[in-house]
Amino acid sequence: MREIVFDTETTGLDPRSGDRLVEIGCIEMVNRVPTGAVYHCYFNPERDMPAEAEAVHGLSIAFLSDKPKFAERAGELLDFIADSPLVAHNAGFDFGFINNELEMCGLAPVSRDRMVDTVAIARRKHPGAKLSLDALCTRYGIDRSHRTKHGALLDAELLAQLYVELMGGRQIGLELAADVAGQSAGIVVTQETVLASSRLIRPPRSPRPHAASEEELARHAQFMAGFSEPIWSR
């Protein structure tokens, strides 16, 4: 199954009040294993950048001023996500910004039926616990030491690892499902087929004898004869 794990960075919290999308990072996963295919883009928001937002992601208007407008890259983004389920942390927030940008371009919004919210998943698994990306990465031992500021692609990479853990963790050998050649040939490698293949290629082992030899029986009888009045002969 193909899924897209993604994250966004914005100028603020409310697209309906004029806040805009400034960065998106998407990671393709097949059978919950990253394939190596990503989509990442910065956007010129055509407005100012509030200091509070810049403090979170470090993206200034000076940096974004020569980046493409969302409308110029909307087709690329839609081609990449295709019709796959879209996984995000607090997904309603990210969907709100993406759909606002699409509507501004005169394009149809992405259906929320495709939305997979890892916050909702984590809330069911860990009621009452902290549900931020940082807190959940700490809970599951996911290294985020290189994360000094929020970044859409970096956060999507962390979220991809977290998503796998929230859904039960990666089984031994499952990483073989990311084999690009196998995917190109239309082969879906599952844990069951990996284990089955391992059984098929295991070299046969010669049967081991279990009965005692004549020599061993004779030595055992000689040893037993050395006991004086054993209790088993009474």
C-beta of residue 36 within 8 angstroms of C-beta of residue 86: no
Alpha-carbon span 203 to 150, nearest angstrom:
50
115 phi and psi angles, rounded to 5 deg: -80, 130
Residue 155, marked binder: yes
Please tell me what DSSP assigns to residue 231.
G
193 phi and psi angles, rounded to 5 deg: -70, -35
Residue 214, marked binder: no
Catalytic residue, chosen from 40, 89, 126, 150, is 150
- Neighbouring C-beta atoms of residue 30, cutoff 10 Å: 19
Residue 57, marked binder: yes
Residue 48, marked binder: no
- Looking at 67-150, which runs of residues are DSSP E strands? 86-88, 115-117
Tokens of 52: 């509070």
Alpha-carbon span 154 to 89, nearest angstrom:
13
- Give catalytic status of residue 40 as yes or no: no
C-beta of residue 11 within 8 angstroms of C-beta of residue 36: no
C-beta of residue 137 within 8 angstroms of C-beta of residue 162: yes
Please tell me what DSSP assigns to residue 232.
G
Residue 52, marked binder: yes
Alpha-carbon span 201 to 178, nearest angstrom:
21
Binding-site residues for substrate sit at 7, 9, 52, 57, 155
Binding residues: 7, 9, 52, 57, 155
Active site positions, annotated: 150
Q: What residues form the annotated binding site for a divalent metal cation?
A: 7, 9, 155
